[in-house]
Amino acid sequence: MNSKERLIRRLAGKAVDRAPNCNLIMAFAPLYIGKPQSQFYLDYEVLVESNLRVAKDFDLDILGAISDPFREVFDFGGKVEFPEDDIPLCSDNLLKSYDDLPKLQIFDPYRSTRMRDRIKGIELYKREAGDEYPIMGWVEAPFAEAVDLRGMNEIMLDVYDSPDQVHQLLEICLEAEIRSAVAQIKAGADLIGMGDAAASLLGPDLFGVFAQPYEQRLVAAVHEAGALARLHICGNTTAILNLMKLSGADIIDVDWKVDFKLACETYRGYAAACGNFDPVAVVQQGTPALIREAVWKCLDAGDANTLIMAGCEIPLSTPHENLKAIAEALRDYPRY
């Protein structure tokens, strides 16, 4: 059973040899193959090469085009810095005033710089390993993208002071993300991940107004284009679990601060829960024995659809034996 078959069968609740290993890999990948971080963010060939190596060496079951949250910001015209060996930085908000909203032009993914690079990466994945692995494209969810363009502090005030303008911005972000997602699906992506980390800072009422409706429309567009959808919201999302399950996403990631059993019960019949041990205390700083215990605890809490990952990205300094221990724990689990 290859990774693509494994994920498809698991999502359908069918028998598998082991639960899929769906960890998010970003900064770890270029370090693993000895390439500068900046090349991972700017050169799709490095992203693909490094992720293929990591997937094969550590038995991962998804090839991801995720890298950083600033691809869309860059293509909207924002200033993004790329340190040689660090994550990209966007220190200046592109949208300083809503008076400038008419100037915010939605980019064409095929004529863009960084989204086009991601599309090329998916095309290369498809050629290299598309029959063996599911390929995951990535976009920012509309609320997260609005934060990237306007600024976290500004948006959190705007939802109270200028809600109409926030919705105008969200419509622009949604259209950009739909175009980007559809282009990735046409390039060969089997599923689209969408990150909405900033939405975890909204309470249920605000989440239901400024995040959920736009997530739902983005998921619907992904499904219409023929792919699956994966919703990723970092942080303690306990208060919005019941809203997240209505996103329509096929997979919903669960960060480590959330009770995984509760998440699995909440999502049952709506989506496959994916999670959720601590990426730092367990994966980066723990032992293989601790990792096995954490993985098995998640599997015990789940059901026939449950997927496994750390609560968020695998830290770049994770010991190799610890990342291998996740795959070993999945293989050795006795109750599939």
Please name the residue that has the structure tokens 């293509």: 75
Task: Please give the single-letter amino acid code of residue 169.
Answer: L
- Asked if 235 and 259 touch (Cβ cutoff 8 Å), the reply is no
How confident is the model at residue 242, as a pLDDT? Answer: 98
CATH of residue 221's domain is 3.20.20.210
CA-CA distance, 246 to 177, in Å (whole number)?
Answer: 19
- pLDDT of residue 335 exceeding 90, the answer is no
Domain that holds residue 256: 3-332
The residue-averaged pLDDT of 36-58 equals 98
DSSP 132-183: TS-EEEEEE-HHHHHHHHH-HHHHHHHHHH-HHHHHHHHHHHHHHHHHHHHH
How confident is the model at residue 119, as a pLDDT? Answer: 99
Total domains in the fold of the chain: 1
Q: What are the tens digits of pLDDT across the range 280-289?
A: 999 999 999 9
Six token digits for residue 228: 């699956």
**How sure is the predictor about 44, in pLDDT bands with cuts at 50, 70 and 90?**
very high
CA-CA distance, 180 to 159, in Å (whole number)?
Answer: 26
Backbone angles phi, psi at 192, to 5 degrees: -120, 120
How confident is the model at residue 91, as a pLDDT? Answer: 86
How confident is the model at residue 19, as a pLDDT? Answer: 98
CA separation, residue 261 to residues 123, 149, 189, 200, 268 (Å): 37, 35, 30, 19, 11
The residue-averaged pLDDT of 202-227 equals 98
Find all residues with CB under 8 Å of 99, minimum gap 6, and list them: none
How confident is the model at residue 97, as a pLDDT? Answer: 96
Q: Return mean pLDDT, the chain.
A: 98
Whether the full predicted model's pTM is greater than 0.85, yes or no, is: yes
- pLDDT of residue 255 exceeding 90, the answer is yes
How confident is the model at residue 336, as a pLDDT? Answer: 86
Q: CA angle, corner 314, sides to 57 and 91, nearest 5?
A: 130
Locate the DSSP E strands across the chain. Answer: 63-64, 135-140, 191-195, 228-232, 251-253, 272-277, 307-310
DSSP 260-289: HHHHHHHHTTT-EEEEEE-IIIIIITS-HH
Q: What are the tens digits of pLDDT across the range 125-137?
A: 999 999 999 999 9
Sheet holding 307-310, edge to edge: 63-64, 135-140, 191-195, 228-232, 251-253, 272-277, 307-310
